[in-house]
């Protein structure tokens, strides 16, 4: 005899109390396989910031952390003038947000435009979960600009002085 077993049919046998040992093994291996799939999903994404300015820019990002599944805001990375800065984020989400500043000059989102997101930042290096206030000096709210990854890379070019 040839049998076709799906997760649903295994659940029916299991819940109906008529589950045979082979059905139990199939059911359990199906569960193990299904729940282990997220472990094999590539989580790291590259971020490339290109600065076409003559000032050093301090950058922060808001992204969905692959390990916890929570949105976090993290800062700061330094981007030197007229250069590129690359780093890796532990995310598998193709949407993230960024904000950069250099003294009184800033790069980011504008309130009410293109999905800009308001987030709290501080002057010190920080990593904070969504909904929490970062600890450190000079707390302020900024608008972050949404950016989408292509081929697992977030590319952002910062222009102007």
Averaged pLDDT score across all residues of the chain: 83
Give me the residue label for tokens 């076709």: 4
Q: Looking at residue 12, what is its pLDDT? A: 47
- Mean pLDDT, rounded, for 130-137: 95
Can you tell me the distance from the alpha carbon of 101 to that of 99, in angstroms, rounded to the nearest whole number? 7
The first and second tokens of residue 26, run together, are 């199939």
Q: Looking at residue 17, what is its pLDDT? A: 52
Q: Is the peptide bond before 76 cis (omega within 30 degrees of 0)?
A: yes
Give me the residue label for tokens 């692959």: 66
- Mean pLDDT, rounded, for 135-157: 95
| 31 vs 61, more confident | 61
| 35 vs 117, more confident | 117
What letter would DSSP give residue 150? B
Give the count of beta carbons closer than 10 Å to the beta carbon of residue 14. Answer: 14
Can you tell me the distance from the alpha carbon of 161 to that of 105, in angstroms, rounded to the nearest whole number? 8
- The model's pTM is 0.73
Burial of 4: CB neighbours in 10 Å, binned 0-12, 13-18, 19+: exposed
- Mean pLDDT, rounded, for 34-43: 52
The answer to whether residue 137 scores a pLDDT higher than 50 is yes
- Mean pLDDT, rounded, for 143-152: 94
């Amino acid at each position: 005899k040839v049998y076709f077993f799906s997760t649903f049919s295994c659940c029916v046998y299991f819940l109906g109390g008529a589950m045979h040992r082979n059905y139990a093994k199939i059911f359990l291996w199906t569960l193990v396989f299904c729940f282990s799939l997220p472990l094999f999903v590539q989580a790291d994404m590259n971020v490339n910031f290109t600065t076409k300015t003559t000032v050093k820019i301090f950058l922060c990002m808001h992204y969905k952390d692959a390990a916890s599944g929570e949105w976090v805001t993290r800062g700061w990375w330094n981007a030197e003038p007229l250069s590129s800065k690359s780093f890796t984020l532990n995310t598998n989400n193709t949407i993230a947000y960024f904000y950069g500043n250099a003294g009184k000059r800033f790069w980011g989102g504008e309130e009410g435009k293109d999905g800009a997101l308001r987030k709290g930042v501080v002057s010190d290096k920080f990593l904070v979960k969504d909904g929490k206030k970062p600890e450190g000096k000079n707390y302020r709210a900024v608008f972050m600009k949404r950016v989408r990854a292509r081929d697992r890379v977030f590319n952002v070019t910062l222009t102007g002085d």
